[in-house]
A and B are shown apart, each in its own frame.
Chain A
């Protein structure tokens, strides 16, 4: 376990900008942090980087509760590096920028050279070591900032929108580097992004922040639904294209008529047409539209007049082998349905 967050709040000018009752982040993984502007992503990253102090609650890092005194924070900060959304380089050369983290750690001068060269090579900036840092382009600045963070060999790398304002080429390079350092150096990475595709590409775990709170709703299978009313012991929800899904009436439901409905892919079962049991609740016919490998799992997109994503393990996929265009049914368990 890398971080454990309990009852964390951060208040700014009387407004609670972050409120996380509980969150556990494991080491060696990549986490994406998704949310609109003002959702609290940067605040959370600053708290995880020990650059900000929560108003209440506790952060545990590597099983040790964080104490907010300078003496305790310094060793923690030396394990975690945050790269700002718009990183700023110190006045001077690229080399001097990379040397900073090593010199404050009192790394011997002769040991600095290979570390700096290795970090610059990793980000493809080895030819820029003597360039004036302030004269680099936006993409180059981001890559140097990444090298400057990596040269100190952190345990955790926190990136606030690593590809914001970066051209496609540099964006691709940065994402490749993040993937590589996680794979090869086992550096834990938590990055904030607006891009669902980036989150899909890099991370196994996605944290969704909305108004300072972690949303229980992941990125997939979120729909707007209308609560039509109760039929026997079940509440009927109408999604777009008149798709109807029922939930147990006893389930805690919001008072609003228009709600957000999330179908957790973990509890949706893909059933071959011939195996379908018509008596089941929430058994919806559809067509397999897309099959893609993603982070060691197989993502299957089924069109039931709306696109619903489910995941199969490699072995489940090898066993069932659904194919594009195949007529299937989705059996949606009650546990899969969350309404907000």
Chain B
């Protein structure tokens, strides 16, 4: 118990002192996860929208596959991407292994299903009358889609937040594809694992605190935003 309290106290001091190594690790995590979330959103949001909005043969199967991909372990993604970008892989010549780009690719694969399925759910929750109303008032297909998107915006934001939460806390992809190189690909989760292996709890607890702080801050912002919109 003393170990935990001492570690916690030291970690808090480390956070408050804006330790350089800590900031580099946090910066790397935010950069990689932020870019992965952004790119996955660019792909996943329209995909979710199209799947929710259109009828096509195999739609249910597509949704089932997407739901299955939600349970995809990060180490499996790490392995698959590794097999492509390792020196012997078909993309080996690009020298992507143990770079932030590799981590971003892996994280995109991890969260595209998250964003897509949650967007589908958000769009499906929107009352069908919005679509009919927009069309009968003279909207074209794109204007109608924008109406639906606006009505579903909180669900869509929630999808993006959930995806960011998923990638910032993942470790398998970052470790396997990033390699945990200090100053380059060391993220909060990989650093915590390393510090644990070394028996150094202070930095690990400090990073854990920051990670939890991020999670809390993002959710708080979302709820405040949603609450304000409800109150209007």
Whether A104 lies near B133 (C-beta < 8 A) is no
Whether A81 lies near B132 (C-beta < 8 A) is no
- The interface-forming segment of B104-112, B117-125, B137-145, B204-212 is B137-145
Q: CB < 8 Å: which of A51, A78, A81, A91 contacts B151?
A: A91
Whether A82 lies near B141 (C-beta < 8 A) is no
Q: Say yes or no for B232: interface residue by CB 8 A criterion.
A: yes
Whether B132 lies near A78 (C-beta < 8 A) is no
Q: Say yes or no for B147: interface residue by CB 8 A criterion.
A: yes
Besides A87-B133, A90-B151, A152-B137, 15 new A-B residue pairs in contact (Cβ under 8 A), listed by A number? A74-B138, A77-B138, A78-B138, A81-B136, A81-B137, A84-B132, A84-B133, A86-B129, A87-B129, A91-B150, A101-B138, A104-B138, A105-B138, A132-B232, A152-B138
A149 and B137 in contact (CB under 8 A), knowing A90-B151, A104-B143, A132-B232? yes
Whether B140 lies near A70 (C-beta < 8 A) is yes
Q: How far is the CA of A80 from the CA of B137 in the complex (A)?
A: 8
A104 and B136 in contact (CB under 8 A), knowing A90-B130, A90-B147? no
Whether A77 lies near B135 (C-beta < 8 A) is yes
Q: Say yes or no for B200: interface residue by CB 8 A criterion.
A: no
Whether B132 lies near A82 (C-beta < 8 A) is yes
Q: Say yes or no for B127: interface residue by CB 8 A criterion.
A: yes
Contact with A along B163-188 (1 / 0, CB 8 A): 00000000000000000000000000
| Distance in Å: Cβ of B33 to nearest Cβ of chain A | 30
Q: Which residues of B come within 8 Å of A, CB atoms?
A: 127, 129-130, 132-141, 143, 147, 150-151, 232
Q: Say yes or no for A238: interface residue by CB 8 A criterion.
A: no
| Distance in Å: Cβ of A29 to nearest Cβ of chain B | 20
Whether A88 lies near B143 (C-beta < 8 A) is no
Contact with B along A144-172 (1 / 0, CB 8 A): 00001100100000000000000000000
**In the complex, which residue of chain B has the Cβ closest to the Cβ of A103?**
B143
B129 contacts across to A, CB distance below 8 A: 84, 86-88
| Distance in Å: Cβ of A240 to nearest Cβ of chain B | 44
25 examples of A-B residue contacts, CB within 8 angstroms: A46-B132, A49-B136, A51-B132, A70-B140, A77-B135, A77-B138, A78-B138, A82-B132, A82-B136, A84-B132, A86-B129, A87-B133, A90-B150, A90-B151, A91-B150, A100-B134, A100-B139, A100-B147, A101-B138, A104-B139, A104-B143, A132-B232, A148-B137, A149-B137, A152-B138
A90 contacts across to B, CB distance below 8 A: 130, 133, 147, 150-151
B134 contacts across to A, CB distance below 8 A: 100
Q: How far is the CA of A220 from the CA of B232 in the complex (A)?
A: 50
Q: How far is the CA of A104 from the CA of B127 in the complex (A)?
A: 21
Within 8 A of B (CB), among A102-150: 104-105, 132, 148-149
| Distance in Å: Cβ of B133 to nearest Cβ of chain A | 6
| Distance in Å: Cβ of A46 to nearest Cβ of chain B | 8
Q: How far is the CA of A88 from the CA of B126 in the complex (A)?
A: 11
B127 contacts across to A, CB distance below 8 A: 88
Q: How far is the CA of A91 from the CA of B148 in the complex (A)?
A: 11
Q: CB < 8 Å: which of A86, A88, A101, A152 contacts B130?
A: A88
